[in-house]
A and B are shown apart, each in its own frame.
Chain A
Amino acid sequence: MPIDGLATQLRKGVIEYCVLAMLKEMPRYGGEVIQMLRARGELVVSEGTIYPLLSRMRSEGLVETEWRDTPGGAPRRYYRLSRSGQKAVAQFRDEWFRFRDSVDTIFRNGARQ
């Protein structure tokens, strides 16, 4: 695998769950999710891809949406975790920690064994 494609592949695998995890505490609108991702580093290259992702997660039942008025602005579509979305986040969390620990162990000790 070419090494510049690697970052893209890794991002692709986790971005959906990162977005779901961001909706865990409270419902958020798309722009807010994008701002949070932007503040947390290199997770998204094309910010616009978050919208089709959210739309897809809605049709898969992972999130639910509602329109909310914003003072002095146009209404925004807020995304909220559904029950199956909560389950998906919890599952990913467990899986991710196991996965991360395994990779960490190999990179820390692998060379010595």
Chain B
Amino acid sequence: MTAGHARQLVDEYLQRLERELTDLSPDSRNEIIDEIRRHIAEERGGLADESDAALMNLLERLGDPADIAAEARGGEKARTSVATTRRFGTLEVLALILLVAAWPVGAILLWVSKTWTTREKLLGTLIPPGGYPGVLLIMSTFRWITAASEAGPAWVDVTVGAVLFTISLVALITPVGMIIYLATRLRAR
């Protein structure tokens, strides 16, 4: 057999394999194709006489690219099904609503749900601590701080007022921001 024909047989085989593996992640696809290519090169090196038949036997022993792809997908399918069980349902929607409306209940649901990671749950619980009830509690102390600062010079009064105003603004936006963040983490899955 001519070297050109041999290359054509191998190329056709690898092209078919590549087509069969298109729905795989690029990493897995490249790894499998690379290994099969190496395998063919090594086996060809070991052939005493590279006849058409010898090369075709080699490729036949490797098997139908569709079978190789099916084996590869066997694992990936299992992994996607694990990911699907992490999708969100009523529990997650309820957790997000109650995280704003009724903080302790929302936080408990957040931890009950298996959808968020521990890191996301910690962020959701602590930023801000206590949700809106927590924010309002903290803001209720501002009255005394303002009252105390009024006794001092005018610039202290103004500065304290500005700082408290900024904190209030951030504190009121944060819970909503956190809900949006947690919701996007749901959609990311």
A contact residues vs B (CB 8 Å cutoff): 30-31, 34, 45-49, 51-56, 59-60, 73-74, 76-77
Contact = CB atoms under 8 A, between A and B. Distances in A.
A53 B71 CA distance: 7
A97 B72 CA distance: 29
A3 to B, nearest CB: 20
Contacts of A34: 39
Contact of B36 (A48, A73, A74, A76): A48
Interface of B: 17, 28, 31-32, 35-36, 38-39, 41-43, 45, 61-65, 67-72, 74-75
* 9 pairs of A and B residues whose beta carbons are closest in the complex: A46-B63, A52-B72, A56-B75, A48-B62, A49-B71, A51-B35, A52-B71, A46-B67, A48-B68
Contacts, number: 70
Given A46-B67, A49-B63, A31 B32 contact: no
Contacts of A55: 28, 31-32, 35, 72, 75
A35 B174 CA distance: 62
Q: Is the interface of A mostly helix, strand, loop or mixed?
A: helix
Q: Is the interface of B mostly helix, strand, loop or mixed?
A: helix
B67 A59 contact: no
B83 to A, nearest CB: 14
B63 A51 contact: no
Contact of B39 (A31, A52, A53): A31
Given A46-B68, A49-B68, A56 B42 contact: no
A31 B65 CA distance: 17
A76 B32 CA distance: 13
Given A47-B61, A47-B63, A49-B67, A30 B35 contact: yes
Contact of B74 (A31, A46, A54, A56): A56
Nearest to B65: A48
Given A31-B43, A56-B74, A51 B64 contact: no
Contacts of B42: 31, 73-74
Contacts of A56: 71-72, 74-75
Contacts of B35: 30, 51, 54-55, 77
